[in-house]
Amino acid sequence: MTAHHHEHDHGHHHHDFPEGFFEQPPRLGRGLEGHGAVDDFNTGRPPGPIFVNRKGEGGFAGIQTFAKLPICLTPEDLVAGEMDVAICGVPWDATATGRSGTNHGPLAIRACDYKGGYGRAHFSLDTHVDALEVLRVCDYGDAPIKVGNTWNTFEGIRKFVGTIVDSGAIPIILGGDHATTWPSATAVADHYGYGKVGIVHFDAHADTGPDTPGSLASHGTPMRKLIESGAVPGRNFVQVGLRGYWPDQEILDWMDEREMRTHFMAEINRYGFATVLERAVDEALDQADHLYISLDIDVADPAYAPGTGTPEPGGLTSTDVLTAVRRLCAEVGVVGMDVVEVSPPYDDRGEITALLANRAVREALTGIAMRRKGITEPDYLHPHALGPGHSRALRDRETDQPAQ
């Protein structure tokens, strides 16, 4: 039966489906009670971050926290450690419609890295800012997952991320499929207020699809869920990188009606990424009081990110992605970020997709640190990173010129 026939028959054979089959709850729950971030392994000790690696260990040694960061396992740890940023994982892929495996994304993003963390330099050669000297950052572990239970899992994610936001730290979430942005961004909106958070959404796909019949959500619906729940209004969305063969005109019309601002790859190819990024930054600055970044790794061309659930040729480069994340964090400022859709089973042996996701987080940390230091001018690069400006031969020739 074709999709068209199925939809047509639905109106005449609604008795084939249970009551409410095509209806979805408008929003997730409220409050943080039962958040799942504390268990009996972590009671009876003084709160605070725990260093589980020796100082100066490299990325391939010791215990694989993100960037060898200390861990926090309870909200009390976050508060006691006065954490600025908490990195956590959401190992969930049961709402993916393409390739599976994104539940292994958080592990791969942590483990692919050769660099160390505290005790080793995190010195950005582009900006000359060391994020780990400026910020207090930890690995908060992973959100609780209830295998096969979307509703309870998403409620758990919302509460888990909510404990980070409530502590005063910025959550950076490692996915997991993109459906998890619904609970993650909802947690941020719960804290800052519905309608006060905007999202810059990097993706090959709009993720504004209507509900999949019989399913709570899919990774093609999270932005629609956020809009329909009221957590993030359509006018507070800036999307970058859309391409391919979906969505159709009906969904595009729905997006226009909600005043979403979308930058397709066609625009980027015509005018250049730098121009479109400037437009996106300007829109992010005027859209809401607080900014959340949602980075679907498939916004990058599969040449740079093959390990993803729904690859779409013709996308951004690694440099485009990393530059955009750093600039938004420095120039606009963020209250949350997720990096989703890394599927390690489809990554190559060089782990280039996981590595790009890892570096996107590191660039976000650099941008957050830049803003903390007051470095917020557009497209800032340290003068030393830009070089002398001309060749040695030309410099020597100018030196040999007689004085005028």
Closest to 186 in 3D by CA, of 138, 147, 223, 148 = 223
User: Which residues does residue 300 pair with via DSSP β-bridges, in sequence order?
Assistant: 316
Closest to 222 in 3D by CA, of 243, 203, 250, 241 = 203
At 215 the pLDDT is 63
Distance CA 312, CA 15 (A): 38
Instruction: Tell me the pLDDT of the chain averaged across its residues.
Output: 87
Confidence of residue 399 (pLDDT cuts 50, 70, 90): low
Secondary structure of 225-289 as H, E, C letters: HHHHHCCCCHHHEEEEEECCCCCCHHHHHHHHHCCCEEEEHHHHHHHCHHHHHHHHHHHHHHHCC
Distance CA 348, CA 237 (A): 32
What is the three-class DSSP state of 200?
strand
Q: Are β-strands 170-175 and 261-264 bridged in parallel, bridged antiparallel, or unpaired?
A: unpaired
C-beta separation of 217 from 349 below 8 A: no
Query: Terminal CA-to-CA distance of the chain, rounded, Å?
Result: 86
At 402 the pLDDT is 53
User: For residue range 220-266, what is the model confidence (pLDDT) as tens digits?
Assistant: 789 999 999 999 999 999 999 999 999 999 999 999 999 999 999 99
Confidence of residue 8 (pLDDT cuts 50, 70, 90): very low
Would you kindly state where each structural domain of the chain is located, as residue ranges? 60-384
Tokens 């980075």 locate to 295
* One-character DSSP codes across 59-105: TTSS---GGG--B--SHHHHHHTT-SEEEEEE---TT-SS---GGGH
Tokens of 362: 């590191």
Q: Helices then strands (H, E): number in the chain?
A: 13, 8
C-beta separation of 198 from 237 below 8 A: yes
The CATH code that applies to domain 60-384 is 3.40.800.10
User: For residue range 358-379, what is the model confidence (pLDDT) as tens digits?
Assistant: 999 999 999 999 999 999 999 9
